[in-house]
Structure 1
């Protein structure tokens, strides 16, 4: 049998992407007992149907807060009446990926945050940050997962020491570069010194701009600082204020 139908262009593109790119999962698998914001309850997991008990299939019942594991924060998470998850269009879920790397500085000082000099150095190497990009902060903190104590990194006074974003860099990204979203490896947008004092002003700044973010990202050390694409997806609860996300990057092997 001879087939003469021309291959649809998107199928050809998919075959080309699979052949020429690496797909890197940027998501932690969530589970009870994992690191999380201390005010949140732990996950509860039950099996109302269990094949080991003689049922015909397996079904899990999960009881979790929306901000659980690698998750998305939509604007409504901090801003009443702002966009919930179901109003974020799929057009915003496939974006150019920019990675700002401050891993070496964090290794010497866990309270380190990015500076405008880090952005300028990135742009000197790669060109201007693309408008509409997703910018991820690589700190090396994801290597501490899933140890809650290591992630919180509290001192004897109970103050957390972990990296976060800085106001000057976020202002540049959203007001000058026009990025769509950000992400990071830590539990919070704000550094540990701020969150320990109840200060979440940087997260408020992001969500008040009608932008969204991904928290608790994984494996940012496996993707290049420029040239990759990120795909960020999540379920679509009506009016949802947050949910575990599945996030991955497509990039060249080198």
Structure 2
């Protein structure tokens, strides 16, 4: 017998207020120092995040302080919308995303031990199948969040991008696994701790940047630069992704939160 919606909401509020549930911030702090993607020439790069003071309790605004912000869409913890990639160039912008798909079950897959041994690690179908064998199938509307341990570099641009001789060495997903996630699973989105949803050397795969190509092409979403995945259980948490509804936007900085039981330990 299902619980009435009103009762379910009341139970959620009660658990939050009484500490039975905790809210976990999965978002990297956004500042001028936040590590951002650097594309090689001749490709153009987005501007880094910055604040421009407009007034600060002065003649321009005696009772208030406020700023202009300058930022690219794909800076810090951010969402990739379908129209970001050529495989879905006319797809939904960030203002068109159905909000019901921005909240869903969090499936946390921990590959941090393997990434520690190989920063170029690529997630394969069998890794996801092994997770499902232990925790159950990926759920409709869920988000597969990959814990790589890369969050420890989140405030160190050089380590975060890990570039040697023009090649970035950060973990990602294989072309076969990206295609399978996009075409054979009911998830709404895919999240990572790295600067982008593909491996640092993702242009060398076929097709180039397969997570972008297949997932965005299938009207699914990506979210990057996540934090604190190690505090979540492998299953049983809820994720909420909150991008700005930018008309025409291909992505947006986002606040990403999770709701999890206070009695369930994460994977740390």
TM-score for both structures, normalised by structure 2: 0.85
Q: CA deviation at 1:46?
A: 1.1
Could you say what secondary structure the match of 1:249 adopts?
Answer: strand
Give secondary structure in 2 for the equivalent of 1:50: strand
Distance in 1 of aligned mates of 2:17 and 2:208:
43
Q: Which has the higher strand share?
A: 2
Structure 1 residue 219 displacement after superposition: 1.1
Instruction: State how 1:36-51 maps to structure 2 within 5 Å.
Output: 36-38=36-38, 39-51=45-57
Please name the residue that 1:140 is paired with.
Answer: 149
How far apart are residue 238 of structure 1 and its match? 1.7
Partner of 2:72: 65
Q: TM-score, normalised by structure 1?
A: 0.90
TM-align CA RMSD: 2.0
Q: CA deviation at 1:12?
A: 4.3
Determine if contact 2:178/2:210 at 8 Å carries over to the other structure.
no
2:126 counterpart residue number? 117
**SS across alignment from 1:85:** coil
Q: CA deviation at 1:121?
A: 1.8
> Are the counterparts in 2 of residues 190 and 199 from structure 1 also a CA contact under 8 Å?
no
Q: Could you say which residue in structure 2 is the equivalent of 1:174?
A: 182
Q: How many residues align?
A: 246
Alignment of 1:217-236 (within 5 A): 217-236=226-245
SS at match of 2:158: helix
Question: Where do 1:210-249 residues align within 5 Å?
Answer: 210-249=219-258
| Aligned counterpart, 1:5 | none
Counterpart-to-counterpart distance in 1, 2:197 and 2:222: 9
Unaligned stretches of 5+ in structure 2? 1-5, 39-44
- Which string of whole-angstrom CA distances, capped at 9 and with x for unpartnered residues, describes residues 157-196 of structure 1? 2211110122222233232221111110111222112247
Distance 2:229 2:219 in 1: 25
